Structures are given as C-alpha cells and as structure tokens.
C-alpha cells in the first residue's frame, strides 16, 4: 500500500499501459481517476479495480490538445478526488505510422495536439496546485524511439522527444516547490488484446536486445508505482528506460 491516501489521475487509462498503471495504483491504495475517450472501456476498468477492493472513478475526456478540454479534465478529476490531485500520469497518445512525405498537415497537427499540447495544458492546470501544497508527482510517458533514430514513425518520435524535454523543463520549473517530474520510456510493449499466436510487428525491433522480446504493460506500471512513491523522493527530471535494453545495450550474436 505504498500509495495509501494518495489520489491519481491517469490519462489514456482505458486500455494497455494506462490501464495497467491505474490498476497498479489502486492496488497500492490510491484513489484513481481513470480517464479516456471510451466510457464503456473506462467503466470496465473502474469495475475491475473496485472488484479487487480498490477505489476508482471514470472521467471521460477526449484530449484534443485544447486548453479548454485539459482544464475541464483537471477540474472534474480534482472534484471527484476530493479536491486534490497528488499524482498526474500523462499517458494518452496516438501513433501514426506514415512516412514523413506521406504525413499531411492535418495529421501532423492532430498528433502534436494529442501527444504534446494536451499534456502541456493538463500539467499547467494541475501542477500549480501541487506546487502551492509543496508536494506532488507528475509522470510522463515517453518512448524509446525518441532517442534511437528509426526511419519510420518520425512524427510520433518527435512528439515523444518533446515530452522528454518537457519532463526536464517542468522538473526545473516545479521541482523547487516540491513537485517531482519524471518520465518513463517504454520499449515495445505487447498489449493483452493481441493474439499470442500472431507475431507482434514490433518484435523485430527487440532483436539484439538483452530482453530479446517485447514487454508487458505491467512492466511500465511497476516503474510508475516507483516514481509515484516515496522510494523515488530523490529522483527528479529523469527518464527511466523500461525497454528491455533497447536503447542502452546491444547483444552481439556469436
């Protein structure tokens, strides 16, 4: 129960990594707001958490990058959580796979809106109250592709590079007031909805890594629990790689 008495808002929490983080936080004693676009999936996550004895509520939000929507989510989540948000997890994001030449301006703007503008304005709505109290945690979800150049997914990679830069900048901005800001950089994650008999398209990216294959959403959730808890009290402005060694090590076949 490392997060007993804490409150948390997790965006993009209706599936995959966000869901795993919300479930893990609730299991550690936090009251969690599960946020996402799908009411049906969100309410199912809440039902699962409550069935396991945890506390959770669903707040629907389509984070389109507008300050209005981000501020409305912060306000409603704060109300549901009893007036304060102790932990904010900026997880919601979208991934377009087109090449640079095939990406149109509308797609470019939408991806930056969801992946960068939305967490920017949400953090701006939540962090000042944390700073005023002298305590709070903000965790951003980056990606290994932000630091290992690939010829695909360039737009997505650039947004995650922006998120990692914001992590360091927000740490400098809010850290002196007691708010810890860090990020997690996941590697290839095999989500539960995928058929285990069908090869994951990202598995090829994990060849030559110490792990040798993809990870599970729970691996990211474990890191998120660590960063939200007291054990990481001296961790500021950093990005934790939970990527099977993809960025940091290479295994040479002999």
- Residues noted as catalytic: 156
Angle of the 154-174 helix axis to the 118-133 helix axis, nearest 10: 20
Give the pair of three-digit tokens for residue 88. Answer: 């904010």
């Amino acid at each position: 129960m490392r997060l007993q008495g804490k409150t948390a808002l997790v965006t993009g929490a209706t599936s995959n990594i966000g869901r795993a983080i919300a479930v893990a936080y609730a299991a550690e004693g936090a009251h969690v707001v599960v946020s996402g676009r799908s009411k049906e999936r969100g309410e199912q996550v809440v039902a699962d958490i409550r069935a396991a004895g945890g506390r959770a509520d669903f707040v629907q939000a389509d984070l389109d990058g507008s300050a209005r929507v981000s501020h409305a989510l912060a306000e409603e989540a704060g109300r549901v959580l009893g007036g304060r948000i102790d932990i904010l997890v900026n997880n919601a994001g979208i991934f377009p796979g087109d090449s640079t030449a095939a990406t149109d301006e509308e797609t470019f703007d939408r991806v930056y809106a969801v992946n960068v503008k939305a967490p920017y304005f949400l953090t701006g709505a939540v962090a000042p109250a944390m700073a005023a109290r002298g305590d709070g945690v903000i965790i951003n979800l980056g990606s290994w592709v932000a630091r290992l150049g690939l010829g695909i997914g360039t737009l997505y990679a650039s947004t995650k590079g922006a998120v990692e830069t914001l992590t360091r900048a927000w740490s400098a901005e809010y850290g002196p007031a007691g708010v810890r800001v860090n990020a997690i950089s996941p590697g290839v994650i095999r989500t539960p909805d995928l058929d285990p008999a069908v090869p994951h398209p990202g598995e090829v990216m994990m060849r030559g890594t110490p792990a040798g294959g993809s990870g599970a959403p729970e691996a990211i959730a474990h890191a998120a629990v660590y960063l939200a808890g007291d054990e990481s009290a001296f961790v500021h402005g950093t990005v934790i790689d939970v990527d099977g060694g993809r960025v940091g090590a290479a295994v040479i076949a002999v």
